[in-house]
């Protein structure tokens, strides 16, 4: 076995040194009653070539090929990824290291994470960002728990129904064993969250909105933050498409106190939904309540600049049950990848790319409306929007699928009454030709 | 140090990203627009973030240079205890990055995802086979996330029995994530002291376990590298009181094909795919922490899992008793692909060999190093052995100094100061992918460092010397945090 | 040195391959046999070579460590004159390695190779467009091989005229491959001294060119980084005497879209795709040296080339006047794929910018550095400038010392001691992919080294200090050659 | 353009420093009459994504997919290549360096090449190997020129007709401008070279054979070397499939004086025939007549072991027209790749793999004979063999092609009278199932 170095002779030398005669004796402390019976039910070892063949067979079971145009976002977005990124990220010094507990030997990782934190803070408009959460959904759950920690005595949180349904499910999972109450905020005709029910409410620790929300709609975050702050709650703003902040105001600049979301858009492949990147930031004041790892700048014995993991008294390995979160391993490789992507895009490129995504989406939105489909929500959108078709769209959808286009996501299973509503997503990867094919098929 | 592989060579300095670049440069292609510009809602629009503009070469050099300041398993031995830093096979990277998988969208219907679902399904099956448990969810994104899933299952199980239990038994050798995960579910950890043999003793559990207590979290082999020999008896006691046994399977690398977790009495267990199953997790992740349970708890597992009816793979229907969704989609999917590739490459026999050789390597190091470093528990070990700086303290040399000196010698240091029960702990886990020669060199180097601790202790206290930076001031970092540039 | 990027960091020592390993280990999968063992002819069988047996991790670490002892363009500036060490785009690697191309077999009929043939065809067309010449063969595997193809064409051309010429004009600035290639075709180089302006003068050529002389080999821009301003007049003289003009196009990076080689009077020219067209050539290759000719010589080109009739790509039929086959198949095909990707990525306008910026960068360095280093020819330069150690000799510091000190500073040294006409030459070619900031830092570092040459010359003489090895004894290596371990 | 750093402002700063006002002036030394007219005829610049699409279209023009079983060798062989090799070879410190003229900064390349030379010398059974030639064919041409240099006064060489036809063509190309004479040696019924015409010949500098030869036949190299030496010539042994030497005697051990050939089999993709690897070795006595670069061991100022390019007084950059060859750039990346492959295989693996190739080929050879096809040459073969079919095979060939199998190479265009003869190649990549499909199709 090519990963295992042990020759028969090696094993004997080691048995002798240890003073055992065989593996049986080596495992003497494993009681008979705990022993594994027989052999594990796993197929026989495959050579590299048989593995290739096997995985090739599995890949051939994917009828939606990489050449398809998938006009679905809903939390995961197909964007172009420059080849330079996986190429540099693939360097084993990055890939095969672990948590940078020994900072002098991991300055590459640490400076990389510090850069990630900084670019993320700039993108989200927050004072500080951590070194990542598992994904957008768990980040949101942790943000709300953090809101409750900051608020101390309060026991209620409110979350918008226009937040990604899976995110809300994960929040529910995290909150189930607690005594906290979750209030759901409905959305208005324009697709934005209805915050009117908040007014006069009391004991709410935090209110969470998503912008762009699940319908692609840009919330009026400034107004929302004011309304939330008016009831003494923290404003938690989440997102699934950070590219939006190349064009739209950042959540932090709108007044959000905690900002969290999914960073997969930033150079990370869709990959059936994972690994992604939980981006997470907040105001300076709340740093010590933050979950997750933080990298900080410091100096060495000679006064030279360097980076270390810091404020770890928040963390489980120091604080155990009193930690701000149980998170330990995070999404390291994905954070570095996202930083490489942000660095490759640059400020100029990010704006240009965001604008392009916006324009393409508007093109399709307008054209579909002209075919008679109804745009369900009137507020501005980014990248995604919801339309309702007059007739049953499912046959058109199947026809387009046969032509290599996945024409939106049916929302029937997420919201009652949305059976003929579709969430469309258009990124820079989709050409006008493809959009025109969709339009003309809808027109038929 | 003669025999040590560490030497000095050229590396390149490099500023922070935003200390580079010039406005207007670009590092990636952006397609020309083929649609008309749409009007934008001015009120909502911002200026975009202040990112530097770099060109591709600047980006590539930046990260190439940063990488020179790092050390990975491919660079050399990385005996970071409890972390199982084994070799990460290259072929698995290729499969995880295959376009068909990389582009697979998780919101498509099952009929469009047969390949991706099959990978999850097979992994569920094989992880069940490896642990001896019955049902698996791959959603948890890391070990701690798996623990949380487990604690949620504990909570849901007791709730389904109409109970709300408030405590959980927690050995003092437990990893910090265990109490933190339990706390998230409202369980107050009841600490259990390790006995003088380094393992749990039955009497203590019998004393502490009661019907307020949800169960116990046991890491097995534990973080001292010892097999919890009394686990079955302990499980019986816990079960008698209506409790459940959680197994932290982070150290599964020691016992694949050797111990059966169900026979050990474990009800819920997480695995660390990024450790035992060889997936890379540079800079701290991503991991994957699938949670495995016995039959009676299958209904509580996070949903959805993948089912197979002999023809079609499907996301299972809504399961009301489930603890619910743990992740936006199916966990760290790319990590799952790599883990499946690893399992398929190894097969049952090699996986067992992995554990045999992992324990063989650790036992060999233990025997050879205990002459030089104080061994915390001189008993047959599993995949790792915990030493300490006890013998070196008289020279005013600490575990930290030894660790830093090891760095100069070309080794990643072991895990230090954990587990907490061993003061000045030095926790060494070589893994099975290190050769006898490599171990012998490491032993030689440790021996030399131990000698230096006596003869030239300042060499250790001033270490490291070979890196871009000397010893960094962690106190200053925490006192005046600079977290953003 | 403060501003220099070079620093010291950890690298790992590593023995020779055969000082590692153990018999019986394996580093790659070998399929199990699914056929019966066949009898083997004992008399012919041997024992197989004495190779070490390594496992995969040993191999990966071996090369990871070796790579730490190297320096590439991705590490930093590599101003190796005449070598055009520009950035090698990553995306091109991906396309060259695409399975459809990587697995394409060259012995299949044209109908099975339309894609691979199309790549060659398009490249032929674009290289013709770039040089201004008419026909191209991509067979030559490197620049020198292209020169050989060119000399073969000279020979075949003259032979087709019933002539056997015996001499060839050879400027003393020519790269060593030029006389060596000419010699392979039986031509005796007639040396031409560079004039005091660093370029060829017409009078000399008029004097030396005769009907025994096959033609002239001109590198343009030449290896002093100067454009041969008299090339047209020279070509006329050569043509008048029935000779041909060979253009060494290794320095094409200076003049794409700016000079037209046909208008210059060049009849045959090779390009170095691994230089101008950005293909990586680690450790010395592979290169690609396509040879381009004017119409009247097209028939002599190596065969087969690729033709296109508007529908189908084909390997051309036997061409009796061709110099014949130069390579087992179609040259270094993978290099051709990368070069085509580069050309398609750049387009005409960016290729012209490449040359403009390459010359801009070199001119900037020339102006800034000539205060510190002696500039051999103070004239408007193209893509490179040649300095020397003339000013430093008084401190007993040589070009070699300066080069070694640059290494410690984090730069690959320029080409040194070439061209031969400049004693102690330091030939600097920054290429267009270096930024102004990078050039400024480099200038700063050179300035500091020049100061050190005066103040602390032993720093230079003892350089390099930052590497795995100090200055190596090349004399010993040649006197008692040890070429095999 | 993402590879070009120059901003407008940068350009102006540089113009000012240089003292020119624009690019026109910068290029003042390029005479008007030499200037390029208009724009080069090259398609407009493509984004990375359009390039991907374009190259994808080109790839789709390859009807023989990577999943086909190509039973053709003839100089290029499909072998399995472990993923670890391109992964490590892709490290930019190797890939983006050049010739190791500055040895202290290129010890990775240099030790790698020294290891290549050593493993190559061991594989071929020679005293010394160089750091590569372009490919097998040019290596053979250079070997013969070297033979003439060593022999001094002699002017004739002889080469076997069983040498790869392309190799012979390249030799002819190299020799055309010289006055040397090439004698062609026919092959016998058993597929081996007929050396009988040599006897008594005079003035022959070198005789070249290939083993395994173009027909896959193992020459009796020991006997051949003796015969060649008997007429006072040097024995040049070339090859296209070095894997053979895992099982068969190495050419050097059989008495060959110069050994050269194609090393593509050793971990290098077929890639439409290039880049490959010209392997080249000889006896110690001839080192100073060798073409190509050589790496030698030496010591540094402290006496520490290190590696440098050496014996360069043979080379063009020192010796110019008197050099042993004009070669400068060689196949650097391919040599390192081949070394990684040899290191991964190891001695044990090489033997096992060679044996597997041999057994699979023998299986097909025997089975085809049993169907009535005639095995054209009776001598032992490795990896390849020639069969003649009784009936026209071309329709069967096409049928098999449709089923994803390329059933051998028709030799009609290489040798007169070989119109119904096919050269088959079987490597470890071809499973018995595939061979059985061929057999049963032939049986029909
Ligand atoms: C024993 C043990 N349990 C749990 C964990 C947590 O795993 P993760 O970091 O994947 O969350 C670790 C890893 O550090 C561990 O060593
Ligand atoms: C001017 C010049 N001509 C010819 C060559 C030879 O090219 P190659 O090394 O590709 O054979 C070189 C490269 O070194 C060169 O600089």
Q: Which two tokens stand for residue C420?
A: 């031969």
Pick the closest to residue C280 from B64, D333, D270 (CA basis): D333
Is the CB of B25 inside 8 Å of chain D's CB atoms?
yes
Contact B76 C12 (CB under 8 A): yes
> Could you say which DSSP state residue A378 is in?
-
Q: Which two tokens stand for residue B375?
A: 């061994």
pLDDT tens, residue by residue, B254-290: 999 999 999 999 999 999 999 999 999 999 999 999 9
Is the CB of B22 inside 8 Å of chain C's CB atoms?
yes
Cβ-Cβ contacts under 8 Å for C124 (sequence gap 6 or more) = C135, C136, C137, C138, C290, C305, C306
Q: Measured at the alpha carbon of residue D405, what is the angle toward residues D402 and D411, in degrees to the nearest 5?
A: 105
Contact A10 C22 (CB under 8 A): yes
Is the Cβ atom of C334 under 6 angstroms away from ligand 2?
no
Q: Can you give the pLDDT at residue B2?
A: 59
From chain D, pick out residues whose CB is under 8 angstroms from the CB of C347: 42-46
Is the CB of A60 inside 8 Å of chain B's CB atoms?
yes
pLDDT of residue A65 exceeding 90, the answer is no
- Measured in Å, residue B271 CA sits from the centre of ligand 1 at 9
In ligand 1, the atom with minimum distance to the C-alpha of B142 is: 10
Average pLDDT over residues B60-84: 98
Q: Can you give the pLDDT at residue B195?
A: 85
For residue A48, give the nearest of D82, D87, D91 by CB distance. D82
- Continuous segment of H or E residues that includes residue C7: strand C6-12
Cβ pair C328, D140 in contact under 8 A: no
Is the CB of C9 inside 8 Å of chain B's CB atoms?
yes
Q: Chains with ≥3 Cβ pairs under 8 A against B?
A: A, C, D
Pick the closest to residue B304 from B315, B312, B320, B290 (CA basis): B315
Q: Can you give the pLDDT at residue D202?
A: 87
For residue A3, give the nearest of C10, C55, C93 by CB distance. C55
Is the CB of A177 inside 8 Å of chain B's CB atoms?
yes
Q: Which two tokens stand for residue A315?
A: 């963390």
Is the Cβ atom of C279 under 6 angstroms away from ligand 2?
no
Structure confidence at residue C2 as a pLDDT band (50, 70, 90):
low
For residue A356, the distance in angstroms to the closest alpha carbon of chain D comes to 15
Is the CB of A91 inside 8 Å of chain D's CB atoms?
yes
Is the Cβ atom of C268 under 6 angstroms away from ligand 2?
no
Position with higher pLDDT, D202 vs B173: B173
Q: Can you give the pLDDT at residue B405?
A: 98
In the numeric block, the tokens 């190349």 are attached to A246
Pick the closest to residue D222 from D239, D237, D233, D203 (CA basis): D237
For residue B91, give the nearest of D4, D9, D83 by CB distance. D83
Q: Which two tokens stand for residue B170?
A: 């927690």
Contact C11 B13 (CB under 8 A): no
Q: Which two tokens stand for residue B449?
A: 């460092």
From D278, D329, D333, give the residue whose CB has the most ligand 2 atoms within 8 Å, as the site to mutate.
Answer: D329
Residues 274-313 of A with CB under 8 A from B: 274-276, 287, 293-302, 304-308, 310-313
Phi first, then psi, for residue C170 (nearest 5°) are -140, 105
Contact B20 C55 (CB under 8 A): no
Going by alpha carbons, the residue nearest to atom 16 of ligand 1 is: B82
Write out the DSSP string of D159-192: EETTS-HHHHHHHHHHHTTS--EEEEEPB-TTSS
Q: How many CB pairs under 8 A join C and D?
A: 705
pLDDT tens, residue by residue, B210-262: 999 999 999 999 999 999 999 999 999 999 999 999 999 999 999 999 999 99
| The residue count for chain B | 485
Q: Which two tokens stand for residue A181?
A: 């109450």
Average pLDDT over residues D259-285: 98
Give the three-state DSSP class for A308.
strand
Structure confidence at residue C479 as a pLDDT band (50, 70, 90):
very high
Q: Measured at the alpha carbon of residue D320, what is the angle toward residues D319 and D323, in degrees to the nearest 5?
A: 60
pLDDT of residue B1 exceeding 60, the answer is no
Average pLDDT over residues B119-146: 98
Cβ pair A206, A234 in contact under 8 A: yes
From chain D, pick out residues whose CB is under 8 angstroms from the CB of A49: 80, 429
- Measured in Å, residue B140 CA sits from the centre of ligand 1 at 12
From chain C, pick out residues whose CB is under 8 angstroms from the CB of A84: 89-91
Average pLDDT over residues B35-47: 95
Is the CB of A49 inside 8 Å of chain C's CB atoms?
yes
- Which of B11, B52, B56, B280 should be substituted to probe chain D, the one whose Cβ sees the most D Cβ atoms within 10 Å? B56
Is the CB of A12 inside 8 Å of chain C's CB atoms?
no
Q: Can you give the pLDDT at residue C165?
A: 98
Which neighbouring-strand residues pair with A279?
A: A261
Cβ pair A435, A424 in contact under 8 A: no
Pick the closest to residue D264 from D213, D218, D331, D174 (CA basis): D331
pLDDT tens, residue by residue, C263-306: 999 999 999 999 999 999 999 999 999 999 999 999 999 999 99
Cα–Cα dist B165/B157, whole Å: 10
Give the three-state DSSP class for C132.
coil
For residue B341, the distance in angstroms to the closest alpha carbon of chain D comes to 13
Which neighbouring-strand residues pair with B167?
A: B188, B213
Nearest ligand to the C-alpha atom of residue C145 = 2
Q: Measured at the alpha carbon of residue B156, what is the angle toward residues B151 and B162, in degrees to the nearest 5?
A: 130
- Measured in Å, residue B432 CA sits from the centre of ligand 1 at 19
Is the CB of C61 inside 8 Å of chain D's CB atoms?
no
Cα–Cα dist B273/B279, whole Å: 7
Contact D7 B91 (CB under 8 A): no
Contact D429 A91 (CB under 8 A): no
In ligand 1, the atom with minimum distance to the C-alpha of B223 is: 1
From chain A, pick out residues whose CB is under 8 angstroms from the CB of B69: 106-108, 111
pLDDT of residue C360 exceeding 90, the answer is yes
Residue D438 to residues C107, D300, D378, Cα–Cα distance (Å): 19, 59, 22
Average pLDDT over residues D163-192: 97
Q: How far is CA D231 from the centre of its chain?
A: 29
Q: Can you give the pLDDT at residue C112?
A: 97
Is the Cβ atom of C144 under 6 angstroms away from ligand 2?
yes
Q: Can you give the pLDDT at residue A28?
A: 97
E-assigned strand segments in C220-309: 244-249, 268-271, 291-293, 306-308
Residue B66 to residues A112, B250, D17, Cα–Cα distance (Å): 8, 30, 33
pLDDT tens, residue by residue, C193-214: 988 899 999 999 999 999 999 9
Residue B173 to residues A314, B179, D399, Cα–Cα distance (Å): 20, 11, 68
Structure confidence at residue C174 as a pLDDT band (50, 70, 90):
very high
Q: Can you give the pLDDT at residue C194?
A: 85
What is the pLDDT of chain A when averaged over all its residues? 97
Is the CB of D45 inside 8 Å of chain B's CB atoms?
no
Contact B6 C22 (CB under 8 A): no
- Continuous segment of H or E residues that includes residue C204: helix C202-208
CA dihedral C332, C334, C340, C345 (to 10 degrees): -140
Judging by DSSP bridges, how do beta strands C385-388 and C374-375 pair with one another?
antiparallel
For residue B473, the distance in angstroms to the closest alpha carbon of chain A comes to 6
From chain D, pick out residues whose CB is under 8 angstroms from the CB of B93: 83, 87
In the numeric block, the tokens 């080294």 are attached to C449
For residue C433, give the nearest of B9, B57, B75 by CB distance. B57
| The residue count for chain A | 444
Dmax of chain A from CA atoms?
83
Average pLDDT over residues C256-261: 98
A203 phi-psi bin (left φ>0, alpha ψ -120 to 50, beta other): left
Structure confidence at residue D65 as a pLDDT band (50, 70, 90):
confident
**Helix pair D48-59, C114-131: axis angle to 10 deg:** 130
Pick the closest to residue D290 from D112, D131, D114, D397 (CA basis): D131
Q: Can you give the pLDDT at residue A200?
A: 86
The ipTM assigned to this model is: 0.98
- Measured in Å, residue B81 CA sits from the centre of ligand 1 at 11
- Continuous segment of H or E residues that includes residue B181: helix B177-184
Q: Chains with ≥3 Cβ pairs under 8 A against D?
A: A, B, C
Question: How many other C-beta atoms can be found within 10 angstroms of the C-beta atom of residue B19?
Answer: 9
- Measured in Å, residue C175 CA sits from the centre of ligand 2 at 7
Judging by DSSP bridges, how do beta strands B385-388 and B415-416 pair with one another?
unpaired
Q: Can you give the pLDDT at residue D200?
A: 86
Is the CB of B386 inside 8 Å of chain A's CB atoms?
no
In ligand 1, the atom with minimum distance to the C-alpha of B145 is: 11
Q: Can you give the pLDDT at residue C100?
A: 97
Phi first, then psi, for residue A349 (nearest 5°) are -65, -40
* Burial zone of B333 (CB within 10 Å; 0-12 exposed, 13-18 middle, 19+ buried): buried
Q: Which two tokens stand for residue D23?
A: 């690019």
Give the three-state DSSP class for D258.
strand
Question: How many other C-beta atoms can be found within 10 angstroms of the C-beta atom of residue A155?
Answer: 13
The model carries a pTM of: 0.98
pLDDT tens, residue by residue, B428-469: 999 999 999 999 999 999 999 999 999 999 999 999 999 999
E-assigned strand segments in A300-403: 305-310, 374-375, 384-388
Residues above pLDDT 70, as percent of chain B: 100
pLDDT tens, residue by residue, D283-315: 999 999 999 999 999 999 999 999 999 999 999
Average pLDDT over residues B191-209: 94
């Amino acid at each position: 076995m090519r990963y295992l170095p042990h020759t028969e002779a090696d094993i004997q030398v080691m048995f002798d040194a240890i003073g055992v005669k065989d593996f049986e004796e080596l495992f003497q402390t494993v009681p008979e009653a705990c022993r594994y019976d027989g052999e594990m039910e796993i197929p026989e070892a495959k050579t590299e070539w048989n593995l290739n063949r096997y995985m090739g067979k599995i890949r051939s079971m994917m009828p939606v090929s990489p050449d398809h145009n998938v006009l679905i976002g809903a939390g995961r977005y197909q964007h172009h990824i420059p080849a330079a990124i996986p190429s540099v990220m693939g360097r084993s010094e990055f890939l095969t290291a672990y948590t940078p507990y020994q900072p002098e030997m991991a300055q590459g990782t640490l400076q990389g994470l510090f850069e990630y934190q900084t670019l993320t803070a700039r993108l989200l408009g927050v004072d500080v960002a951590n070194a990542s959460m598992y994904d957008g959904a768990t980040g949101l759950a942790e943000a709300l728990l953090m809101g409750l920690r900051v608020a101390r005595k309060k026991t209620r949180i409110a979350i918008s129904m226009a937040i990604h349904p899976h995110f809300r499910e994960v929040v529910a999972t995290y909150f189930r064993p607690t005594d906290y109450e979750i209030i759901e905020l409905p959305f208005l005709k324009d697709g934005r969250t209805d915050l009117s029910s908040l007014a006069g409410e009391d004991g709410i620790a935090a209110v969470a909105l998503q912008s762009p929300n699940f319908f692609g709609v840009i919330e009026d975050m400034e107004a929302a933050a004011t309304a939330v702050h008016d009831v003494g709650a923290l404003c938690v703003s989440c997102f699934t498409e950070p590219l939006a902040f190349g064009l739209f105001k950042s959540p932090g600049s709108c007044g959000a106190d905690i900002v969290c979301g999914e960073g997969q858009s930033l150079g990370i492949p869709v990959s059936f939904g994972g690994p992604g990147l939980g981006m997470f930031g907040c105001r300076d004041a709340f740093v010590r309540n933050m979950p997750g790892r933080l990298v900080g700048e410091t100096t060495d014995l000679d006064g030279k600049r360097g980076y270390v993991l810091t404020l770890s008294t928040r963390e489980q390995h120091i604080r155990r049950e009193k930690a701000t979160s149980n998170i330990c391993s995070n999404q390291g490789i994905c954070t570095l990848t996202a930083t490489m992507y942000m660095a490759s895009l640059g400020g100029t490129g990010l704006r240009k790319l965001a604008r392009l995504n916006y324009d393409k989406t508007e093109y399709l939105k307008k054209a579909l409306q002209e075919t008679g489909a109804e745009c369900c929500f009137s507020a501005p959108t980014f990248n995604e929007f919801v339309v309702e078709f007059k007739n049953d769209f499912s046959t058109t959808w199947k026809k387009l699928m046969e032509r290599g286009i996945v024409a939106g996501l049916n929302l029937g299973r997420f919201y009652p009454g949305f059976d003929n509503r579709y969430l469309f997503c258009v990124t820079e990867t989709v050409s006008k030709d493809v959009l025109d094919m969709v339009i003309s098929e809808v027109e038929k | 140090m003669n025999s040590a592989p560490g030497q000095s060579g050229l590396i390149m300095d490099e500023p922070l990203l935003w200390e580079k670049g010039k406005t207007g440069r670009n590092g990636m292609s952006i397609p020309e627009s083929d649609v008309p510009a749409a009007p934008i809602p001015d009120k909502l629009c911002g200026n975009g973030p202040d990112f530097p503009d770099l060109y591709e070469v600047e980006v590539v050099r930046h990260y190439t240079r940063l990488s020179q300041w790092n050390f990975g398993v491919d660079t050399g031995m990385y005996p970071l205890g409890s972390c199982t830093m084994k070799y990460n096979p290259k072929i698995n990277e290729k499969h995880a990055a295959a376009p068909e998988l990389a582009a697979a969208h998780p919101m498509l219907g099952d009929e469009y995802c047969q390949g991706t679902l099959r990978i999850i399904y097979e992994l569920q099956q094989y992880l069940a086979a490896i642990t001896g448990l019955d049902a698996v969810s791959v959603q948890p994104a890391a070990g701690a996330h798996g623990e949380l899933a487990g604690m949620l299952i504990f909570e849901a199980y007791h709730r389904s029995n109409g109970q709300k239990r408030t405590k959980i038994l927690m050995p003092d050798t437990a990893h910090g994530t265990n109490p933190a995960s339990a706390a998230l579910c409202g369980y107050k950890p009841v600490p259990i002291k390790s006995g003088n043999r380094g393992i749990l003793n039955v009497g203590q559990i019998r004393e502490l376990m009661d019907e307020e207590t949800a169960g116990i979290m046991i890491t097995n082999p534990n973080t001292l590298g010892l097999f919890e020999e009394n686990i079955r008896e302990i499980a019986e006691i816990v079960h008698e009181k209506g409790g459940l046994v959680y197994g932290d399977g982070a150290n599964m690398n020691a016992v694949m094909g050797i111990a059966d977790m169900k026979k050990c009495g474990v009800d819920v267990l997480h695995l660390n795919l990024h450790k035992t199953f060889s997936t890379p997790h540079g800079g701290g992740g991503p991991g994957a922490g699938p949670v495995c349970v016995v039959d009676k708890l299958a209904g509580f597992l996070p949903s959805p899992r993948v089912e197979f009816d002999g023809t079609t793979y499907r996301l299972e229907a809504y399961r009301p008793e489930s603890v619910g969704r743990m992740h936006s989609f199916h966990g760290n999917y790319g990590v799952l692909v790599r883990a499946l590739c690893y399992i398929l490459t190894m097969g049952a026999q090699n996986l067992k060999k992995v554990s045999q050789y992992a324990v063989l390597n650790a036992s060999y190091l233990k025997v050879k190093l205990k002459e030089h470093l104080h061994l915390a528990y001189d008993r047959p070990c599993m995949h790792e052995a915990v030493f300490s700086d006890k013998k070196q303290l008289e020279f005013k040399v600490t575990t930290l100094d030894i660790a830093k000196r090891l760095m100069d010698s070309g080794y990643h240091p072991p895990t230090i100061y954990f587990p907490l029960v061993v003061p000045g702990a030095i926790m060494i886990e070589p893994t099975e992918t290190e050769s006898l020669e490599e171990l012998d060199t490491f032993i030689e180097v440790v021996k030399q460092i131990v000698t230096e601790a006596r003869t030239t202790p300042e060499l250790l206290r001033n270490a490291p010397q070979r890196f871009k930076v000397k010893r960094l001031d962690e106190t200053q970092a925490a006192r005046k945090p600079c977290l953003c540039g």
